[in-house]
Structures are given as C-alpha cells and as structure tokens.
A and B are shown apart, each in its own frame.
Chain A
Amino acid sequence: MKFKSQILNSTLGVIFKATAKYLKPDNFYSLSNNIIKILSIIVFPLVIYGLIAGLFLAPSDEVQGDGFRIIYVHVPAAFLSLFVYTNLAIFSGTYLVWRIKLFDILAKASAEIGAVFTFIALVTGSIWGKPMWGTWWIWDARLTSELILLFLYWGYLAIRQSIPNDKSAAKIASFVAVLGIINVPIVHFSVNWWFTLHQGSTISNITNIKIASSMAYPLIAMILSFVLLYVIITLLKVRNVILKNKLERLNLAGAI
C-alpha cells in the first residue's frame, strides 16, 4: 500500500513538474512555437481534402441539393463556438482558482477567436436559411441561444476593454465567462428541447452518423481542421502576448 502511494506520488510529481515548467512564459513560448509548426503541417492537407471533398466530391443532398454543402463550414464553426467557449470557461475557472496568468492569456485569446467562429456560424447559418427556410433569420431556439453565445463572447471582451485595471478586468471577465457556461448545453440541446425550424444534429455521436460516409468524412475532416486552426490561432496570439509583455517591461510596447 505504501509502495503504491509512493509510485502515485512520484508519477504525479513528474507530471506536475513538467506542467509547472511550461506555465512559465518563456518555456510556454518555445512550446507554442513547436506546436504551431507541427499542427500547421497537419492542418494543411486536412483542409485541402475537406474543401475539395466537401465542395465537389460529396454527392448533392436529395432534399437540399448543392445547398447542403454549406454544412462543411457552418457545422465546424458552430461546433467550435461551443468547444472554444467550454475552453474559455475552463481557462477562466483555472485562473480564478490558481491565479496563474498564463490561463488568463489563454482565456482571452480563446474568446477573441471563439467570437469569430460564433459569428461565422450565425452568418453562414443565415445564408443557408434563406434558400432552405425562405428567411434569413427566425427567433428559433437554436438561433437565439447561439446569438446569446456571441453576446457572451463580446461581453467578456468588452469587460476586459472597459475596466482600466487589468487585474480586476481579468477577474470580473473570468467570473462572467464561468457563469456563461450554462448557455453551452442550452445551445447544444436546443434542437431536441424545442423542435422548431433548425434541423437536428448530423453527427452528435461518432457511432451514430446520420449521413452517407462520402458526406460525413469531409465534415469530420473540416471539424478536425477547425479545432487545429483554433489551437494554432490561440497559440499565435498567446505567443504575441508573451512578447508584448517582454516589450512592455522594456518600455517598447508601442513598437508592435
């Protein structure tokens, strides 16, 4: 028993030490550089495949014709809007509990790009709605809750901009981000709870895909690509914040 707990302690110790090392900005900076390089090499062929297969190779839909091809940008963007918000809430919560600045930087970078994905999901959804539903917008449960999600992202970023003291801005914004997580399951389940106009999930479970594989593979590729792009963009931003802080200490923040 004692031996077991010793192994556990030393394993946890190794993991903790390795993690603690990368929580230091300089180390995280070089780690980001490497991750950005590796993920860029992976994401490039994945996006090319997803685009070609989605736009040209997948057969057109029986009901929606070629209009359904909007799915390959709309669904990944919508998935990311929720995925990134979940990350934002986790980073913010971690920052509130442990006050590690890196998590606040990760949270802010996530919010910036998460808002963009949410905006893309709403706009492409609207453009998809016009030929299929005959309207650009309707106050359907899915659309309304997704719009609230965009306001949560913008609210978080607005709080950070409007409060002059950086530390209190970070604390208040993080608190709001954690509370806003309530909206994530509402967006996700809205199509089941209130069945109005928005169609149900196409892939809600990897073992229960509701479309032909020639349609599904490009969609999976595009979702994966968007996830990788989110990680790349977030690290690009975090890397800049680390350098900016360095320049600020040298009184050169205005240079970039």
Chain B
Amino acid sequence: MAELINMHGYGVYVWSCYGITAVLVGYNILKPFYTHKKAVKVLKEIN
C-alpha cells in the first residue's frame, strides 16, 4: 500500500499532477452545474 502511494519515489510528482487535474476539471464541472440549478430555480419562481 505504501509503495502504491510512494510510487518508487515518484509519488510526489505523480499525485500532484492527478490532484491538480482533478481539482481544475472538477471545479469546471461543478461550477456551471450549480449555476444552472440556481438559474432554473429563479426561472421557476417567477413563473
């Protein structure tokens, strides 16, 4: 298990790459998703 995380010394580099990608892509999915929820709610309220 420790070796899976350490990746024979490359762990820091590998995991930081995956982490940065996950955060940036995740943020860009969630942000428009919640904006849409809000907009639908506003439109529903005025109808």
Chain A: residues with CB nearer than 8 A to chain B? 51, 55-56, 60, 65-67, 69-70, 73-74, 77, 113, 116, 119-120, 123-124, 127-128, 130-131, 229, 232-233, 236-237, 239-240, 243-244, 246-247, 250, 252, 255-256
A252 near B7: Cβ-Cβ < 8 Å? no
Q: How far is the CA of A256 from the CA of B42 in the complex (A)?
A: 8
Interface residues of B in 14-47 (CB under 8 A from A): 14, 16-18, 20-21, 24-25, 28-29, 32-33, 35-36, 38-40, 42-43, 46
Contact indicator B21/A131 (Cβ below 8 Å): no
Top 10 A-B pairs ranked by shortest CB distance? A66-B7, A236-B32, A67-B10, A243-B39, A124-B17, A73-B21, A66-B10, A255-B42, A256-B39, A70-B17
* Interchain CA distance A65-B11 in the complex, whole Å: 11
- B residues lining the A interface (CB < 8 Å): 4, 7-11, 13-14, 16-18, 20-21, 24-25, 28-29, 32-33, 35-36, 38-40, 42-43, 46
Asked whether, in the complex, the Cβ of A250 is within 8 Å of the Cβ of B18, the reply is: no
The chain A residue with its CB closest to the CB of B30 is A236
Residues of A within 8 A of B33 (CB): 236
5 A-B pairs besides A74-B17, A247-B39 with CB distance below 8 A are A55-B18, A113-B28, A120-B21, A256-B38, A256-B39
Docked-complex contact B32 and A233, CB < 8 angstroms: yes
Distance (whole angstroms) from the CB of B42 to the closest CB of chain A? 5
B14, B28, B39: the one contacting A69 at CB < 8 Å is B14
Query: A243 near B40 (CB under 8 angstroms)?
Result: yes
Complexed CA–CA distance, A66 and B12 (Å): 11
Chain B residues closer than 8 Å to A247, beta-carbon distance: 39, 42-43
Quick one: given A65-B10, A250-B46, are A124 and B36 in contact (CB under 8 Å)? no
With contacts A116-B25, A120-B20 taken as known, whether A237 is within 8 angstroms of B32 at the C-beta atoms is yes
Residues of A within 8 A of B7 (CB): 65-67, 69
9 contacts between A and B (CB under 8 A): A51-B18, A56-B4, A70-B17, A113-B28, A233-B28, A250-B46, A255-B42, A256-B39, A256-B42
